Amino acid sequence: MSSVEDNKSLEFKDLPGPRGLPWLGNALQLDPARMQEVIENWADQYGTPYRIQIGSRKAVVIADADMARQAFRERPDTFRRYRPLEAIAQEMNILGLFPAEGDDWRRQRRAWMQALNFHQVKPFFASLTETTERLRKRWQKAAINGEPVDVQADLMRYTVDVTTQFAFGHDSNTLEQDGDVIQQHLGKVFHMINRRLAMPIPYWRWFKLPSDRDLEKSLLAVREFAHEMIERSRQRIAANPELAKHPTNLIEALLVSRDEDGSTYSDDEIYGNAIVALLAGEDTTANTIAWMIHMLTLHPGAQQRMQQEIDQALGGNLLWQQLEDADRLTYIDAVTNETLRLKPVAPLIFLCANEDTMLGNLRLKEGTNVIMALRHLSTRSEEFSDPDAFDPDRWLQGGKQQRGENLPPMPFGGGPRMCPGRNLAQMEIKSVMAMLARNFQVEAWDEQPVTEKFSFTLMPKNLRARFSPRSHEQRRVA
């Protein structure tokens, strides 16, 4: 049971919320591609907490920092993931860390933490830098040819290349390929998870629409890709038994891992975690960097500050090549934090109460779904002055960064299920942004507004940019 009790407790039935239709509840109002916006607008209208209904599923929406921290802290025992998400992931045979619960989750989390701790991530810096150099060349070509850059598509290639190297020890090098790559299939999987989450009834269990058949093709392509990665890891371990003692990546760690009772991971679990690594490592980081680039196109002053910082830190280099220089790139950190505050890739987190409990002063029955409106916490928080403004300076000396990680916006979540990939993600973000600031001036390609699209993660729509090489003059240390 939760430790937080309050005399003036609220029940689900006491909560305000938008009126819905019989049977469907609020399903028709919850456009899957704008779900974050609809949920946030209702939070403005009804306050927090409020209630909604999707078909027969009832959910409480919370946009309160204390409640969010408590729910994060009390996982996986008191709160679990939203049950429909677990069922949808299982139907797609995605059985890894993300959908796992209870002891299954504890076991898998240990292997992930081992593979993704900072000491494991550090030696990977050199190959990450090589991948960043490939991205620089791709953007340089577009800059010289005067072509628009589809920022998000290029960054998806970048993050898949990094993830396959890091999780599977395999260089996919999709950055130097044209045409169809695994990213398109991953995108479809995300899109369909999101769509199915918002459906009032799971129609696909009875009949399949063309989009469901497309999903099957994409799942097959992702599965074949993951199987090939796993098979290569198996062969490497067979050829080099030393790897069984000192695995060098996530899949090797899972393949050689033994529990205290000697049990090993099943093929399905290894396969599921390979997919989770691809899904969790790709969109999240690519979208964050894409949003950062969008912010720079809107705020030329911030772009100039970033260029000045990087010119001073990098000397004659075109890339960030010394890991120790990370602490000198404080303006990049500030832009990262501010972008994650305004455009968090996970603006909503979907949970469910495992037992009757109290969340703050709210009495929840076992099985009540809880949606955390994470972005709303910081864009409506009194902690931030002018909260809708893009102001990286608020994170610099004397700003919020001095006051600890536990404040909103919590872009990597919190508690025991906090994102295990954050060290890797932060290294990727810094590497790409340092390369960008050192080599290119970036502007919006056209007047078309860039909008938000929710597809399980929050992504920019219509983001095309003009990359111009920075002149030698601009590159001089200011």
Binding footprint of ligand HEM on the chain (CB under 6 A):
97-98, 109, 163, 276-277, 280-281, 284-285, 288, 345-346, 349, 411-413, 417, 419-421, 424-425
Beta bridge partners of 468: 441
Q: Which one-letter DSSP state was computed for residue 80?
A: E
Residue 478: CB minimum distance to ligand HEM, A: 29
Q: Which residue has the tokens 């890797």?
A: 424
Q: Taking a C-beta distance cutoff of 8 angstroms, is the pair 185, 160 a contact? A: no
| Nearer Cβ to ligand HEM (143/254) | 254
DSSP H helical ranges for 257-398:
267-298, 300-314, 330-342, 374-379
Reduced to 3 states (helix: H, G, I; strand: E, B; else coil), residue 146 is: coil
| Nearer Cβ to ligand HEM (24/419) | 419
Residue 425: CB minimum distance to ligand HEM, A: 4
Residue 280: CB minimum distance to ligand HEM, A: 3
Q: Which of 299, 323, 351, 261 is nearest to 81 (CA)?
A: 351
The amino acid present at 76, given as its one-letter code, is P
Distance CA 333, CA 419 (A): 18
Contacts of 474 (CB under 8 A, 6+ apart): 307, 441
> Could you tell me how many residues make up the chain?
478
Residue 322: CB minimum distance to ligand HEM, A: 22
| Nearer Cβ to ligand HEM (198/346) | 346
Distance CA 75, CA 81 (A): 9
Reduced to 3 states (helix: H, G, I; strand: E, B; else coil), residue 60 is: strand
Residue 338: CB minimum distance to ligand HEM, A: 13
Residue 254: CB minimum distance to ligand HEM, A: 12
Reduced to 3 states (helix: H, G, I; strand: E, B; else coil), residue 354 is: coil
| Nearer Cβ to ligand HEM (142/345) | 345
| Nearer Cβ to ligand HEM (294/417) | 417
| Nearer Cβ to ligand HEM (121/306) | 121
| Nearer Cβ to ligand HEM (163/303) | 163
| Nearer Cβ to ligand HEM (173/317) | 173
Residue 59: CB minimum distance to ligand HEM, A: 15
Q: In what order do the strands lie in the sheet with 149-150?
A: 149-150, 464-469, 440-444
Residue 414: CB minimum distance to ligand HEM, A: 7
The amino acid present at 178, given as its one-letter code, is D
Q: Which of 437, 445, 436, 441 is nearest to 464 (CA)?
A: 445
Q: Taking a C-beta distance cutoff of 8 angstroms, is the pair 307, 376 a contact? A: no
Q: Taking a C-beta distance cutoff of 8 angstroms, is the pair 68, 374 a contact? A: yes
Residue 341: CB minimum distance to ligand HEM, A: 11
| Nearer Cβ to ligand HEM (391/428) | 428
Residue nearest to ligand HEM (CB): 421
Beta bridge partners of 25: 21, 54
Q: Which residue has the tokens 């810094």?
A: 430
Residue 423: CB minimum distance to ligand HEM, A: 9
| Nearer Cβ to ligand HEM (92/424) | 424
Q: Which one-letter DSSP state was computed for residue 368?
A: -
Q: Taking a C-beta distance cutoff of 8 angstroms, is the pair 79, 2 a contact? A: no
